[in-house]
Amino acid sequence: MNKEIIAVDLGGTQLRAARYDAALNQLTREHTLTGADDGLEAVLARIKAIISLVMPSKRDRVEGIGISAPGPLNSKTGVIVSPPNLPGWHDVPLGAIVEEEFGLPVYIGNDANVAALAEASQGAAQGCRHVCYITVSTGIGSGIICDGRLVTGQAGLAAELGHIPLIVEAGQVSSVELEAAGPAIARQARQALAAGENTNLHDLVAGDLERLDARLVGKAAYHGDRLAIDLLAYAGRIIGLSIVTLLHLFNPQIIVIGGGVSKTGELLFAPIRQTVRDHVLDSAFTAGLRIEAAALGDDVALVGAAALAATHGGDLDISELDRRF
């Protein structure tokens, strides 16, 4: 097999595309700005243009185009539902549009699902067949590989770990994302500051509460600030409980945690691991389990989009990726 694959990473800010060989080695790569504020038609034109830039002169060398896009999206129909960071996008049939333009099969996956495939093929979960990937940044997303196949569900909407419900106190329902994503950490920090708690965050924001984000909380925690450490520990505990849910439902080999907030490292990972130990049903669920940071950097979405196309949108077993080497 000497077929090549085109991968596209459609983000709210950055737009990237690359061409991969059959063994998923990157051959060429382009990047530009998405220009989301210019509206739907402008972004569609830029997507077509960047794909053209990485397309080989002989188009029949390409077996398919994989696209990583912000959810929610229906991976079965290739329709982008209504991503918060792409204004004006509502039920856009991106798959059909790109397919018509280039006459090639197009596979679309949400960024977390695509990242799960990337980590399983070239990252922290290489060689694993039971993988849960979690991304913690402005939202919390997840991608799950169950016995070698991506879990997408009947309409391709799976798997939204950030939105599993949690009762946080006396009957009030919240969600993992509302309690533990970056904006939640910042919100809790702002509340603590407004309540006059003793913390170095007062100095770091210099009176401007709007400047307070999860990155600043991570910085303060790194320098030993008690409040900041406690806020990360709370986020870690909530994420840890959601991981216990994943362990009991999927019995995976590895949990891979990526996204900006995960860069706070052990300040987040230690409470995650402690919560998992405290609340798992039986040690059989954690025997041999690894909980690790994501290994791939900026290109995770491109690698994953290529893996998505190589597995026909996640329908094929990930062993398909090894077969190509």
Residue indicated by tokens 């770990």 = 161
Name the 3-class secondary structure at 141.
strand
Q: Which stretch binds a second copy (CB under 8 A): 2-10, 117-125, 180-188, 251-259?
A: 251-259
The order of strands in the sheet holding 4-10 is 26-33, 14-20, 4-10, 62-69, 106-110
153 binds a second copy (CB under 8 A): yes
195 binds a second copy (CB under 8 A): no
Q: Which stretch binds a second copy (CB under 8 A): 12-20, 52-60, 205-213, 249-257?
A: 249-257
**Shortest gap between Cβ of 170 and a second copy (angstroms)?**
5
Task: Identify the bridge partners of residue 131 per DSSP, sorted by sequence position.
Answer: 145, 254
Residue indicated by tokens 């990242």 = 115
Residue type, 188: Q
263 binds a second copy (CB under 8 A): no
Spatial distance between the Cα atoms of 139 and 39, rounded to a whole number of angstroms? 23
**Shortest gap between Cβ of 106 and a second copy (angstroms)?**
20
Q: Residue 180: which of 224, 110, 237 has the closest Cα?
A: 237
Asked if 148 contacts 319 with a C-beta cutoff of 8 angstroms, the reply is yes
Among 31, 61, 130, 324, binds a second copy (CB under 8 A): 130
Smaller CB separation from a second copy, 161 or 184: 161
Phi/psi at 258 (nearest 5 deg)? -125, -170
Q: Please list every residue from 154 through 193 that binds a second copy, using CB under 8 A.
A: 154-161, 163-171, 173
Among 65, 118, 144, 267, binds a second copy (CB under 8 A): 144
Q: Please list every residue from 72 through 91 that binds a second copy, using CB under 8 A.
A: 72, 74, 81
Site map for a second copy, 205-234, x if CB under 8 A?
------------------------------
Smaller CB separation from a second copy, 79 or 205: 79
74: left (phi over 0), alpha (psi -120 to 50) or beta: beta
250 binds a second copy (CB under 8 A): yes
312 binds a second copy (CB under 8 A): no
Please count the residues of this chain forming the interface with a second copy, following the rule CB under 8 A: 48
Q: Which stretch binds a second copy (CB under 8 A): 1-9, 118-126, 148-156, 196-204?
A: 148-156
Name the 3-class secondary structure at 213.
coil
**Shortest gap between Cβ of 36 and a second copy (angstroms)?**
21
Q: How many residues are listed for the chain in this entry?
A: 325
Name the 3-class secondary structure at 143.
strand
Secondary structure percentages of the chain, helix, strand, coil, to 5: 45, 20, 35
Q: CA dihedral defined by 277, 279, 282, 284, rounded to 10 degrees?
A: -40
Q: Which stretch binds a second copy (CB under 8 A): 9-17, 30-38, 96-104, 138-146?
A: 138-146
235 binds a second copy (CB under 8 A): no
**Shortest gap between Cβ of 16 and a second copy (angstroms)?**
27
Name the 3-class secondary structure at 271.
helix
Q: Report CA Rg, the chain.
A: 20
Residues that bind a second copy (CB under 8 A): 72, 74, 81, 129-130, 142, 144, 146-147, 149, 151-161, 163-171, 173, 241, 244-246, 248-253, 279, 281-282, 284-285, 287-288
